[in-house]
Structure 1
Amino acid sequence: MLYTLEKQIGRGGFGTVHEGYRKSDGRKVAIKFIEKAWHSISFLMKMPGHAKPLCSEVAINLMLLHPKKSPYIAEMLDWFEEENQFIIVFEFPHPCMNLLEFVQRNGGPLSEVQARQLMRQALLACIHCIDSGVFHGDLKLDNMLVNTDTMELKLIDFGLSKLVKDCERPGEPFSGLYFADEQTRHALAILMFKMLHGQMFRGRTTDGTAMISKECQDLMSLCLDFHEEKRPTLREFLQHKWFDEE
């Protein structure tokens, strides 16, 4: 085995995630085990250059690496297929915690400076996903890692992801791209709300707005506007004047 396996740090419907180390250089990694018994044919994906379909999470992570990788997405370093399971090895920042733990540890809302730094990275990660033809589909605080020394963010867990083109409605060739962008923007706006309010989202952006800047209030209102045509795309989200502040 090329890796040393350590404590379990996560468990889901399809398998487990463990901390570990790469033996060749001592690099810390996360090792995900996906049981084939839970992996139906719909979770397999054909990829050019591969003789047989791959585990969809492997295929999607390969897509995210080409033509270039994003510094804001946890890089897949290795993968293996065994008789009863798939094994995927990811980079694992150290020291780190997921964003939910980071917000909870803060004991309340994050500052706008912190939220802005994290949101910028999350947006760039998600833009890279969609540009690569991938819809993450499970954006939440738990699925983002924060290096507590550097405040660098990494998007993780593509287990429920799918191709942008698979989101298209029949007869509407660009609907998949619109759907992926819109759903991602909405999920990120909710995450931003949680970071700035230190509480669960309840469908409102008015609670505690006196504590945040006018620019931030404007961005939140735009992202969650009832009128579809007023909501920004992901790139427009990133270009909002709130991100120009220091």
Structure 2
Amino acid sequence: MGNRFGKRLNSVEEDVVSEAVKRKATGDHENQKEKHRRLDSIPCDNELDVVSEAVKRKSTGDHENPPEKRRRLDTIHCDNEMPSTSQDTVESRNEPEAVLTQRSPKRKAIADDEPGEMKTKRKRTLGPSAMFKAKYKQLEELGEGGFGFVFAGYRKADYLDVAIKHMPRAKEILYNEEDNTGKLIPTEVAVMLKLAAVSERHSAHVGLLDWYELEDEVILVLERPMPAVDVLQYINNKGGRLKEKEAKIIMRQLVDAAIDLQEKHIFHRDIKVENVLIQTCLDGIRVRIIDFGASCFFNEGDTYEYFMGTHVPPECFILEYYMAGPSTVFQMGVVLFDMVQPTSFKWDLFYKEGQRIEGRLSKNCRNFIKACLHEDPDQRLTLEQLRDHLWMR
């Protein structure tokens, strides 16, 4: 046998070395047994806690210096309790939770605010046209007037029937009124806003629900009475004329509606059979006035030169001006004439050729029509006098 220096050993020396190697191997084996014996003898009842703690401390200890590991190992107690922890360790462990608790309300407040801010931004960026389309569904066209086109539709939220009026700016919409901010708005909108503010629920005029101002047009969303037809269609459905008794019912309501507008200083200016609706109700019929496109506000004594409506009163040609009260009475006479006569009213035929009123009508009815259509506005009855006329009783 040779040693690490390459020296040859004698037999005695080889025996000594062999004995030393044998003792070392035996000692290592005994040390392992002794080690297991000592571990088994640890006086701890909760072995699972000890093992768990050992694993935890092994993981922690791998990152600590040997002196710190020895110090921590010295503090282990096996009394079925977890090893005590220093105050610094508790604070260090709880600090993230404390920070999270402090930040949570702030984060929650931000989260609560963000949807509202984004919603506001969306509202700001949503144009009038998109807002209208989001709220209403437009359907078929109902008709065309001097100031625009009217379509059927409904409100998406509750399927309420509405009438949608498109007024192109090319039609020279009147902008003679101001809103609360001083901005000029269409006169029709201003009139209907006032009616909505001061009228009762069952007033004759239709109500304005919404309106949208676009670059090339103004959109009005109006109440649409259902079921209802205009007086012209109602007359046609009845064979071309109405019986005097039925015409009287309609005229009573129409006169009351005109007086209501007059008291609110609103001049419709375009009362005709197409602008008067007959709504069918369980207890009878109800008159509704539509299309305030030519309307305006007036004061007593105001005169006008440029006529905006359909049926032009005679004073526009004779006196070259007209007033709210007399011209409204004239138009009421035209509506009654169209309801009870087989032919529609023609200004030239009536005033120049002496168009006759059929004799089958009662005398009071004929007198009522003549009082409304008198060529001299000063000779016409007022709206209040029409309401008290003998034929209206």
- Provide the TM-score with structure 1 as the length reference: 0.85
* Structure 1 residue aligned with 2:380: 231
* Structure 2 residue aligned with 1:194: 338
* Per-residue deviation, 1:185: 0.1
CA contact (8 A) 1:135 1:161 kept: yes
What are the superposed Cα offsets for residues 56-91 of structure 1, whole Å, 9 maximum, x if unpaired?
110111122232246211111221222332111111
Quick check: 1:99 aligned with 2:231?
A: yes
Q: Secondary structure at the match of 1:193?
A: helix
Instruction: List alignment gaps of at least 5 residues for structure 1.
Output: 171-177
* Structure 2 residue aligned with 1:51: 182
The 1:14/1:193 distance shift into structure 2, 3 A limit, reads closer
* Structure 2 residue aligned with 1:81: 213
CA contact (8 A) 2:139 2:152 kept: yes
Instruction: List alignment gaps of at least 5 residues for structure 2.
Output: 1-133, 305-321
* Structure 1 residue aligned with 2:367: 218
User: 43-52 or 137-146: which moved more?
Assistant: 43-52
* Per-residue deviation, 1:169: 4.2
The 1:167/1:19 distance shift into structure 2, 3 A limit, reads farther
* Structure 1 residue aligned with 2:274: 142
Code of the aligned partner of 1:208:
E
* Per-residue deviation, 1:165: 3.9
* Structure 1 residue aligned with 2:109: none
- Mapped to 1, the partners of 2:388 and 2:218 lie a distance apart of 39
Q: Secondary structure at the match of 1:66?
A: helix
* Structure 2 residue aligned with 1:180: 324
The 1:4/1:217 distance shift into structure 2, 3 A limit, reads same
Within the candidate set 285, 295, 298, 1:164 is matched to 298
What are the superposed Cα offsets for residues 183-213 of structure 1, whole Å, 9 maximum, x if unpaired?
000110111111111311241574312x222
Code of the aligned partner of 2:209:
L
Code of the aligned partner of 2:189:
V
Code of the aligned partner of 1:221:
K
- Mapped to 1, the partners of 2:185 and 2:161 lie a distance apart of 25
Q: Residues 6-45 of structure 1: matches in 2 within 5 Å?
A: 6-39=139-172, 43-45=174-176
CA contact (8 A) 1:45 1:59 kept: no
- Mapped to 2, the partners of 1:55 and 1:200 lie a distance apart of 32
The 1:12/1:219 distance shift into structure 2, 3 A limit, reads closer
The share of aligned pairs that are identical, in percent, is 31
Code of the aligned partner of 1:126:
A
Code of the aligned partner of 2:367:
D
* Per-residue deviation, 1:153: 1.4
The 1:205/1:212 distance shift into structure 2, 3 A limit, reads farther
The 1:168/1:6 distance shift into structure 2, 3 A limit, reads same
Which structure shows the bigger proportion of residues in strand conformation?
1
* Per-residue deviation, 1:51: 3.5
- Mapped to 1, the partners of 2:147 and 2:382 lie a distance apart of 32
Code of the aligned partner of 1:24:
A
CA contact (8 A) 1:2 1:22 kept: yes
What are the superposed Cα offsets for residues 89-115 of structure 1, whole Å, 9 maximum, x if unpaired?
111111221111111221132011211
The 1:205/1:188 distance shift into structure 2, 3 A limit, reads farther
How many pairs align? 234
Query: Which structure exhibits the higher relative contact order, with contacts defined as CA atoms closer than 8 Å and separated by 6 or more residues?
Result: 1
CA contact (8 A) 1:3 1:21 kept: yes
* Structure 2 residue aligned with 1:174: none
The 1:125/1:50 distance shift into structure 2, 3 A limit, reads farther
* Structure 2 residue aligned with 1:173: none
The 1:169/1:98 distance shift into structure 2, 3 A limit, reads closer
CA contact (8 A) 1:146 1:154 kept: yes
Q: Secondary structure at the match of 1:25?
A: coil
The 1:198/1:72 distance shift into structure 2, 3 A limit, reads farther
Code of the aligned partner of 1:222:
A
Which structure shows the bigger proportion of residues in helix conformation?
2
* Per-residue deviation, 1:227: 5.4
Q: Secondary structure at the match of 2:139?
A: strand
- Mapped to 1, the partners of 2:298 and 2:206 lie a distance apart of 20
- Mapped to 2, the partners of 1:9 and 1:37 lie a distance apart of 21
CA contact (8 A) 1:205 1:221 kept: no
* Per-residue deviation, 1:35: 1.8
